[in-house]
């Protein structure tokens, strides 16, 4: 393991040293990547770290072969690692505990590592070469109906390409597949599809929204009714990413339906779902501005009560995000609607500042309060 780390560090400073023997190095290190019985997964990761670092520093080592045989083989090795995750889905993943944060998530490290590798390869090689290679592999893995982990790997890998695609048309063929898999029987596949849509919406701002809102948003709205809280929360995150880069004209037609669903999720969901739904609600208001006024009073009444409830430590993040949501919504609707409720909102925020955040310097509410003023 230590030797592999040293190789990786050397490749960063002296990549030319390895250039002439790149093919032999790859052939020698590949069996380590494909051995799946190590106690420490990092041992499998390090050879790929080394190879990809070399490619980043000297991309000609794989681009000079116009069949791109090495790149195809490398992607297959990456996908094999991404597929090597637990087949069983824990109840703690489906329904995380109250107060759960993503920082606690140690699940699927192989998937996260693999998506990072794909991202780096597209960045250094370019989408013209990498997109067809990834597309072929993604198509094959998503077509596998016998093991959900193949679909999961394919969808998660595809989520990384948006940052490097200059035209939305290049991914048009894949969008119906993502939408279809939002309703897949396996919750991890539904989660992966929501993740991919949210990532693409964030990485292809404006273009993705203009091209796909008419099909993507209705599908995400339906997915808000998912039976698994973890999936529902990620659908909220995908909607937030989408609306952050959408115009008022795109957002407004969906506003009423989405708001009603978000009200219910905030009211009845677990903490992670409450947090994400509150942020999505604020994003809708921010984009629709004065057109959000019809929903303003109901929204403010509903959110404000949570500033005097849910005082347990596991809900501090949620309460902080409610503070942020109220601030964004009040700013979005304009002076006149806010003026009518300003005194009440300020009193509640002052009460939290003076009585609840003084004890714990790490209280998440402190950061949101500072921003709100």
| Percentage of the residues of the chain whose pLDDT score is greater than 70 | 88
- For residue 143, the model assigns a pLDDT of 93
Beta carbons of 317 and 276 less than 8 angstroms apart: no
Q: Band of the pLDDT at 363, cuts 50, 70, 90? A: low
Q: Band of the pLDDT at 334, cuts 50, 70, 90? A: confident
- For residue 42, the model assigns a pLDDT of 79
- For residue 354, the model assigns a pLDDT of 65
Beta carbons of 22 and 54 less than 8 angstroms apart: yes
pLDDT digits (tens, 9 = 90+) for 82-138: 999 999 999 989 988 888 876 556 567 899 999 999 999 999 999 889 999 999 999
Q: Band of the pLDDT at 183, cuts 50, 70, 90? A: very high
Region 33-42 average pLDDT:
78
Q: Distance of CA 11 to CAs 18, 64, 65, Å?
A: 7, 20, 21
Q: Band of the pLDDT at 330, cuts 50, 70, 90? A: confident
pLDDT at 343 over 90: no
Beta carbons of 317 and 101 less than 8 angstroms apart: yes
**Angle at alpha carbon of residue 252, lines to 249 and 253, rounded to 5°:** 100
CA 249 to chain centre: 25
- For residue 98, the model assigns a pLDDT of 87
pLDDT digits (tens, 9 = 90+) for 154-171: 999 999 988 888 889 989
Which runs of consecutive H residues, i.e. helices, occur in 143-186? 148-158, 175-181
pLDDT at 199 over 70: yes
- For residue 357, the model assigns a pLDDT of 54
Higher pLDDT, 203 or 349: 203
pLDDT at 6 over 80: no
Exposed, middle or buried by CB within 10 Å (0-12, 13-18, 19+), for 273?
A: buried
pLDDT at 188 over 90: yes
- List, as one string, the DSSP characters of 46-107: HHHHHHHHHHHH-THHHHSSTT-HHHHHHHHHHHHHHH-S-SS--HHHHSPPTT--GGG--T
Provide the mean pLDDT of the chain: 87
Beta carbons of 122 and 59 less than 8 angstroms apart: no
Higher pLDDT, 199 or 314: 199
| Percentage of the residues of the chain whose pLDDT score is greater than 90 | 58
Higher pLDDT, 252 or 29: 252
Beta carbons of 161 and 122 less than 8 angstroms apart: yes
- In eight-state DSSP terms, residue 260 is H
Neighbours of 165 (CB within 10 A): 18
Half-sphere exposure of 271 (CA within 13 A, CB side): 19
Which two three-digit tokens encode residue 351? 């009460």
Q: Band of the pLDDT at 356, cuts 50, 70, 90? A: low
- For residue 367, the model assigns a pLDDT of 65
Beta carbons of 326 and 281 less than 8 angstroms apart: no
Q: Band of the pLDDT at 219, cuts 50, 70, 90? A: very high
- For residue 40, the model assigns a pLDDT of 75
3-state secondary structure (DSSP) of residue 18? helix
Region 303-313 average pLDDT:
80
Q: Band of the pLDDT at 225, cuts 50, 70, 90? A: very high
Region 309-330 average pLDDT:
85
pLDDT at 72 over 70: yes
Q: Band of the pLDDT at 372, cuts 50, 70, 90? A: low
Beta carbons of 138 and 158 less than 8 angstroms apart: yes
Region 232-236 average pLDDT:
97
- For residue 201, the model assigns a pLDDT of 96
Whole-angstrom Cα distance, residue 245 to residue 287?
Answer: 9
C-alpha distance across the termini of the chain, in Å = 50
Whole-angstrom Cα distance, residue 293 to residue 202?
Answer: 27
Q: Band of the pLDDT at 310, cuts 50, 70, 90? A: confident
């Amino acid at each position: 393991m230590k030797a592999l780390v040293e190789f990786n560090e050397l490749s960063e400073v002296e990549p030319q040293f390895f250039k002439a023997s790149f093919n032999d190095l790859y052939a020698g290190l590949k069996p380590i990547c494909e051995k799946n019985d190590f106690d420490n997964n990092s041992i499998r990761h390090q050879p790929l770290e080394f190879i990809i670092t070399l490619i980043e520093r000297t991309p000609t080592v794989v681009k000079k072969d116009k069949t791109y045989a090495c790149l195809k083989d490398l992607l297959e090795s990456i996908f094999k690692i991404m597929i090597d995750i637990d087949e069983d889905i824990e109840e703690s993943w489906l329904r995380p505990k109250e107060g759960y944060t993503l920082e606690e998530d140690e699940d699927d490290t192989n998937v996260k590592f693999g998506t990072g590798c794909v991202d780096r390869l597209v960045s250094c090689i370019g989408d013209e070469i990498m997109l067809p290679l990834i597309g072929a592999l993604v198509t094959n893995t998503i077509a596998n109906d016998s093991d959900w982990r193949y679909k999961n790997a394919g969808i998660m890998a595809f989520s990384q390409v948006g940052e490097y695609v200059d035209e939305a048309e290049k991914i048009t063929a894949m969008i119906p597949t993502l939408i279809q898999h939002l309703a897949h029987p396996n919750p991890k596949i539904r989660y992966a599809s929501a993740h991919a849509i949210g990532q693409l919406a964030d990485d292809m701002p404006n273009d993705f929204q203009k091209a796909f809102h008419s099909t993507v948003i209705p599908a995400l709205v339906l997915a808000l009714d998912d039976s698994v809280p973890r999936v529902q929360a990620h659908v909220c995150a995908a909607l937030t990413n989408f609306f952050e880069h959408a115009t008022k004209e795109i957002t407004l037609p969906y506003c009423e339906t989405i708001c009603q669903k978000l009200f219910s999720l905030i009211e009845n969901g677990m903490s992670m779902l409450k947090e994400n739904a509150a942020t999505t609600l604020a994003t809708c208001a921010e984009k629709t501005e004065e057109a959000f006024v019809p929903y303003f009073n109901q929204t403010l009444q509903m959110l404000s009560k949570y500033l005097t409830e849910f005082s347990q430590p596991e809900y501090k993040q949620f309460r902080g995000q409610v503070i942020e949501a109220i601030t964004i919504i009040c700013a979005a609707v304009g002076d006149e609607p806010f003026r009518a409720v300003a005194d009440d909102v300020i009193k509640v925020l002052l009460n939290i500042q003076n009585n609840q955040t003084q004890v714990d310097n790490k209280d998440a509410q402190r950061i949101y309060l500072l921003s709100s003023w």
